[in-house]
Structure 1
Amino acid sequence: MKTLGRRFASPWCRSLACVVAGALPVLAFPAPALWWWAWVALVPWLLLVRSEPAGRRAAYDGWCGGFGFMLAMHHWLLPNLHVFTFVLAALVGAVWAPWGWLVRRLLGGAPSRVRVAAALVVVPSGWLAIELVRSWQGLGGPWGVLGASQWQSAPALRVASVGGVWLISFLVVAVNVAVAVLVAVDRARVPAVAGLLASAAIGSAAWLWSPRPDISGQVRIAVVQPGVVAGAASADHRFDREEELTRKLAGRGADLVVWGESSVGFDLDDRPDTARRLAALARDTGAPILVNVDARRSDRPGIYKSSVLVGPDGPTGDRYDKMRLVPFGEYVPARSLLGWATSVGKAAGEDRRQGTRQVVMDVGGGLRVGPMVCFESAFPDMSRHLVQDGAEVLLAQSSTSTFQHTWAPAQHASLGALRAAETGRPMAHTTLTGVSAVYDANGARIGERLGTEVSAARLYEVPLVRGTTLYVRLGDWPLHGALLVLAVWGAAEAVRALRLRRNAPGPRVPPARTAHGSPARPGH
């Protein structure tokens, strides 16, 4: 490992190696879903960056790795955004440049034990700062947060109930740093082992002592997934298929029926016939139906994506308008500047309109649900706020039909496990064409998952729970802690640099000379 820098002496070879190394963690996410791989996946990237002799080049290695990570994580966008996918990956990947400099600063050369001990906290904090920045909706939102790769791990989901997906990310990066030190820095193995033990202790403490939800009842939620519907009148045909599947739920005691995103392509005020058909379905099944309307509104300008509750007498008036839209998929940021993306890919030709507030709906029988639409389920704060407002069940209505044969549907469905574990509330993820899944309050899947090849209606027995998790109570404290760590470390570095500058010896003054040119002696 000491010769790693020489093996990639060529700038082009090193850049390519960093791109590949940055892409490696994606194998921990669905579809491969090798969750265990995340705990060592960053090691090659860390070793490459620390071997750089200069901080500027290390920052460039961070950028290259970030580009590789973003491109691999969103490779399924290529058929839709084409070359613009590379542009987005390069722009967002740039946020890893400071992280590359940070890694080299703390782990470069022959780091002391003190520097390694600091790296075990500061480097993961730097990673969280990156995840915070790129979680902004305008940069694509928190899709592919490193901790989300652990959605299948029960211990990691317990950690999520304490500090959200952010605390998992912190621990994953800390373990990778410790492993990299064990591989490459012989003199600092003691703090590296201590870091591994500390990470294990945090996970064990979360498993043993974090509050567990108490079951308080049960609700029967039906998920309707019509599957792929082709044809010029696909919206009408899809509605017919959803209606057919929903009728099969009659007499089965459902408490709520959930359809996917864009399941209704008409505004119900403009189409009273459609509203009447939905009301008849609600009467037949004995349960209200939560549909998702993707249409131009009759009462205000623009196209909205809205969760609309329909009861036996028609729409109940409960409506949630999607707040966080998909960049380029549902709107084009700075359209006057980036509107050309519509000519090279399938970017939105017209911007959807945003809702202004989240809504908790009472669907009858005292059951309160919190709807989200599409990639809003990637935002931890949205589900947390819904639970704080009284939601007993979280619902995500999605489509992902555009990316039917890619990793995207499985990646999207996996987010439900994280949101359920974070909030201590069950969550149903319902799509048009798969993958649909339902999770209990611990993030464990309930019943079968509906894959992309399935067209069906399924009824799930969902346990209701009491109490709240530490994450709901405390919020995004790992992010705040990471920023504090970076601020303290930055201040310490500034003080250290100032002391070195003050203690540095001044310029040497040559001794005075006599008129004959010889050095002057005392007394002369």
Structure 2
Amino acid sequence: MRNAVARRGDGGRKGNVVGRRADEERRPAAARSASPWWRPESPWWRGGAAVAAGALPALAFPAPSLWWWAYVALVPWMLLVRTAPTGRRAALDGWLGGTGFMLAVHHWLMPSLHVFILLLAALLGLLWAPWGALVRLMLAGAPSRARASAALAVVPSGWLVVELVRSWEGLGGPWGLLGASQWQVPAALRVASLGGVWLVTLLVVAVNTAVALLVSVRALRLTAAGGLTACAVAVAAAGWWSPAPQTAGHVRVAVVQPGVIDGAGGAERRFARGEELTRELAGRGDVDLVVWGESSVGSDLTARPEYAERLSALSRLVGAEVLVNVDARRADRPGIYKSSVLVGPEGTTGERYDKMRLVPFGEYVPFRSVLGWATSVGKAAAEDRRRGDRPVVMTAGERGLRLGPLVCFETAFPDMSRHLVREGARVLVAQSATSTFQDSWAPGQHASLAALRAAETGRPMVHATLTGVSAVYGPDGGRVGAPLGTELGAAAVYEVPLAGATTTPYVRFGDWAVYGALAVLAALGASAGGRWLRRRTAPGTPVPPARTAHGSRVRPGR
């Protein structure tokens, strides 16, 4: 035996080298699985880093409102994903990052949903798994200039499709869209007037993609700089193509914010406080409209005519109609509705809007027969609210002011405000209540959405709440007057500028930015499919052996 080994000589050593190389090739996967969690190659470390990186963009939204942070917040996440060893790992990093993002942006829901929010965040986070694989596809290794240039369009388009899917009402709606973090940036608001919040999101993610290339691939710095320049030029072009709306008169709108009212008899006490604050408006000059917040009236006005009379008395005293919000069981049909009702000096005017889009779990439980258990672990709706069937544009006051009401959650949907403006609304009015989340980031985040809706449509928007934040924004999305914070119970009158009859490009052309993103991804799919087909049909491509009916291989020539 020893002689046989000796005769092999170097051949035996070569066999050992080959074996060691095979072991080294297998080692990284095994080492990663056995590495301590604090080591960078550990799956636990990588997973935790993905969750943390995904949570970073939340700092760009109110309350922190670090708007500039949005332009680099995705970079750590992208850098992590591009180094994933496989596409499957990149998809996992995308999922974990999406889970971290949803938890961070919606963390204020924890007191209401408790542990259920972890399940929801994990389910919604799955939407980012394909995005993670897409980032790796476009940015991994040392991409060519062509692939890097394409990434500046492909990666933002992939992110936008994720936002589009999760914007469906049943999945929670479009809360926390990345473009919405730019609500206080005038240049971004001009972009929103051109292509809605969707176009702002595309630009923000494109900047993040360019920065990720800039810091990770030295040879592509010129390409990344070109991408950043293109984004800056696009913003400048948006300002030129869609200039700020011209002011065409003013209306005086009063917002009544009762403040926090706890304890027994809260609905009646809230109504009484609203009356008290509205009476104070009698000496503040001409008022064209008074707006109360969501659920400001706890009984149907037909079933409780004394409420209607008290509101009519307020209208006569102030000299303006009062827009209230009734959260009660209807007298004329079954079920509970949330309804915007206009009340004038002679009683209700017949102008009524029933809320159409409801908050999942807050106002109804999706698939209640399956998910009804959520009511036992959180503050989910014990009874589903009923939906309205159409938007309504109301006419208020002697001046015939055309206003489009929205209720709370509905201000997150760009299509609803756009439809109201197309139907002739000159002022958008949102009635909201976020008192459940009073000491969280939610009130500020909700109020900021009104700035986006105003800029998108070129119409002013009044955001009236029960407990703050109440705010008013002009047709360019800029703030009008001082907001009423969560610490206040007060009434304020705002001189609201009106815009002319001209509407914004976003109102006229709709969600063209979304269709553009879908076209980019379709082109990517077509290109990948074409390459695969060319490889399959190229001369000399090995043809896999055919199989018989029994599954055995049939070799060519036999």
TM range (shorter): over 0.9
Query: Secondary structure at 2:281's aligned position in 1?
Result: coil
Q: How does 1:233-248 map to 2 (within 5 A)?
A: 233-248=265-280
Residues 1:340 and 2:389 are matched in the alignment: no
C-alpha contact 1:211 1:470 (8 A) present in aligned 2? no
Q: State how far apart, in whole Å, the 2-side matches of 1:506 and 1:268 are.
A: 77
The count of corresponding residues between Structure 1 and Structure 2 is: 505
Q: State how far apart, in whole Å, the 1-side matches of 2:346 and 2:134 are.
A: 61
Partner of 1:134: 166
Query: Secondary structure at 2:390's aligned position in 1?
Result: coil
C-alpha contact 1:112 1:187 (8 A) present in aligned 2? no
Partner of 1:290: 323
Partner of 2:435: 401
Query: Secondary structure at 1:292's aligned position in 2?
Result: strand
Q: How far does the alpha carbon of each residue in 1:436-490 deviate from its partner, in whole angstroms, 9 at most, with x for none?
A: 0000001110111100000000000011111100000010110011001100110
Residues 1:193 and 2:228 are matched in the alignment: no
C-alpha contact 1:122 1:485 (8 A) present in aligned 2? yes
C-alpha contact 1:257 1:290 (8 A) present in aligned 2? yes
Q: State how far apart, in whole Å, the 1-side matches of 2:540 and 2:221 are.
A: 35
Partner of 1:458: 492
Q: How does 1:255-294 map to 2 (within 5 A)?
A: 255-294=288-327
C-alpha contact 2:323 2:340 (8 A) present in aligned 1? yes
- Residue 397 to residue 133, structure 1, CA distance change in 2 (3 Å): same
How far the C-alpha of 1:216 sits from its partner, in A, is 1.3
4+ residue stretches of structure 1 with deviation over 2 A?
5-8, 500-509
Partner of 2:509: 474
Query: Secondary structure at 1:337's aligned position in 2?
Result: helix
Q: State how far apart, in whole Å, the 2-side matches of 1:468 and 1:506 are.
A: 58
Please provide the CA RMSD for this pair. 1.4
How far the C-alpha of 1:497 sits from its partner, in A, is 1.8
C-alpha contact 1:146 1:169 (8 A) present in aligned 2? yes
Q: State how far apart, in whole Å, the 2-side matches of 1:331 and 1:507 are.
A: 58
Residues 1:87 and 2:119 are matched in the alignment: yes
Partner of 1:113: 145
| TM-score where L is the length of structure 2 | 0.89
Gapped regions of structure 2 (runs ≥ 5):
1-31, 545-558
C-alpha contact 2:190 2:243 (8 A) present in aligned 1? no
Partner of 1:522: none
Query: Secondary structure at 2:295's aligned position in 1?
Result: coil
User: Could you tell me which of 353, 357, 381 is aligned with 1:320?
Assistant: 353
C-alpha contact 2:252 2:493 (8 A) present in aligned 1? yes
Identity of aligned residues (%): 69
How far the C-alpha of 1:505 sits from its partner, in A, is 4.3
Q: State how far apart, in whole Å, the 2-side matches of 1:507 and 1:449 are.
A: 70
Residues 1:501 and 2:536 are matched in the alignment: yes
How far the C-alpha of 1:189 sits from its partner, in A, is 1.9
Structure 1: which amino acid aligns with 2:305?
P
User: Could you tell me which of 73, 89, 96 is aligned with 1:41?
Assistant: 73
- Residue 105 to residue 456, structure 1, CA distance change in 2 (3 Å): same
Structure 2: which amino acid aligns with 1:484?
A
Q: State how far apart, in whole Å, the 2-side matches of 1:395 and 1:504 are.
A: 66
Query: Secondary structure at 2:475's aligned position in 1?
Result: coil
Query: Secondary structure at 2:176's aligned position in 1?
Result: coil
Residues 1:429 and 2:477 are matched in the alignment: no
- Residue 48 to residue 313, structure 1, CA distance change in 2 (3 Å): same
Partner of 2:389: 356
Structure 1: which amino acid aligns with 2:526?
A
Residues 1:214 and 2:246 are matched in the alignment: yes
How far the C-alpha of 1:53 sits from its partner, in A, is 1.6
C-alpha contact 1:27 1:33 (8 A) present in aligned 2? yes
How far the C-alpha of 1:503 sits from its partner, in A, is 3.3
Query: Secondary structure at 1:309's aligned position in 2?
Result: strand
C-alpha contact 2:337 2:386 (8 A) present in aligned 1? yes
Partner of 1:490: 525
Query: Secondary structure at 2:430's aligned position in 1?
Result: strand
